[in-house]
């Protein structure tokens, strides 16, 4: 929409020795005939140098002092280095390990070492937990929803990220809309998976198991706790 004028004295264009460029333009809302450039628009001196950010500053609320500072760059933001076609193996991952202690007994089934005397104190077992976050780019918000919605509250029924079945649970995603390196809108979703890994009988059990204090072991229930079983690699990537 017209209504802007450019402050040409603030015009800046910089070429980098190793390639690429940056630029700054400043517009003022003064009722002029120019349109305010949109995110993703090209810089007048370099068609590969795109508008990345627009900073709006209002000085005193007076007409003619309403400034927009536009920052251009050939450097794509981190999001745009990941595309819809980036292979799963090349998607950058973030993992945080944690744990939890579960009270499993009041001590009656445990004796002090070398005696037959019950401890009579609470016994706790450590459970290894963690969160893995993997980004994926979607062309539209509708495609994002169609992909993630069926996986809500699901666990893996195929090995995933080197871990056995039922150790990962899909926990949801944080999503952000942005402009990629060619100025097209995309959605980046950071998909989160929660790990639950409990050592038992030389193997590991996870989300489908509950501790049975009588038998002193982790068991599955009937029906299963999680009935939504997914091959995460196929369903989400």
Residue 214: pLDDT band with limits 50, 70, 90: confident
Residue-level pLDDT at 80? 57
Tokens standing for 19? Answer: 């390639």
Residue-level pLDDT at 231? 98
Residue-level pLDDT at 59? 60
Q: What's 109's DSSP letter? A: T
β-sheet bridge partners, residue 99: 128
Residue 202: pLDDT band with limits 50, 70, 90: very high
Q: What percent of the chain has pLDDT over 90?
A: 56
What is the pLDDT averaged over residues 136-156?
A: 95
Neighbour-count burial for 157-184, b at 16+ CB within 10 Å, e otherwise:
eeebeebebbbbbbeebebeebbbbeee
Judge whether residue 207 has pLDDT over 90: yes
| CA atoms of 87 and 91, how far apart (whole Å) | 7
Other Cβ atoms less than 10 A from the Cβ of 154: the count is 20
| CA 103 vs CA 31, 88, 119, 123, 199: distances in Å | 70, 38, 14, 6, 16
Say which residues have a Cβ less than 8 Å from residue 199's Cβ, sequence separation at least 6: none
pLDDT tens, residue by residue, 51-71: 988 888 766 555 556 788 999
Matching residue, tokens 């959605």: 187
pLDDT tens, residue by residue, 177-196: 877 777 788 889 999 999 99
Stated pTM of the model: 0.65
What is the pLDDT averaged over residues 202-227?
A: 92
Angle at 59 between CA 54 and CA 62, to 5 degrees: 110
Q: Which residue has the higher pLDDT, 113 or 20?
A: 113
Residue-level pLDDT at 87? 94
């Amino acid at each position: 929409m017209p209504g802007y004028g450019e402050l040409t004295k603030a015009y800046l264009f910089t070429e980098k020795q190793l390639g690429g460029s940056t630029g700054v333009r400043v517009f003022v809302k003064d009722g002029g005939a120019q349109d305010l450039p949109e995110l993703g628009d090209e810089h007048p001196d370099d068609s590969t140098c795109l508008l990345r950010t627009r900073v709006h500053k209002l000085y005193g609320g007076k007409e003619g002092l309403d400034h927009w500072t536009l920052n251009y760059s050939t450097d794509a933001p981190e999001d745009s280095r990941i595309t819809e076609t980036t292979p799963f193996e090349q998607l950058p991952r973030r993992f945080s390990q944690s744990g939890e202690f579960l009270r499993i007994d009041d001590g009656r089934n445990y004796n002090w070492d070398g005696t037959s005397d019950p401890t009579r104190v609470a016994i706790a077992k450590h459970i290894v937990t963690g969160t893995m976050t993997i980004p994926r780019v979607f062309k539209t918000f509708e495609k994002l929803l169609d992909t993630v919605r069926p996986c809500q509250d699901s666990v893996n029924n195929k090995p995933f990220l080197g871990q056995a079945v039922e150790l990962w649970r899909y926990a949801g995603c944080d999503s952000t809309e942005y402009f990629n390196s060619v100025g097209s809108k995309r959605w980046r979703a950071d998909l989160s998976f929660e790990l639950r890994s409990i050592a038992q009988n030389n193997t590991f059990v996870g989300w489908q198991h509950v501790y049975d204090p009588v038998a002193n072991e982790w068991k599955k229930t009937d029906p299963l706790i999680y009935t939504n079983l997914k091959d995460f690699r196929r369903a989400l990537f």
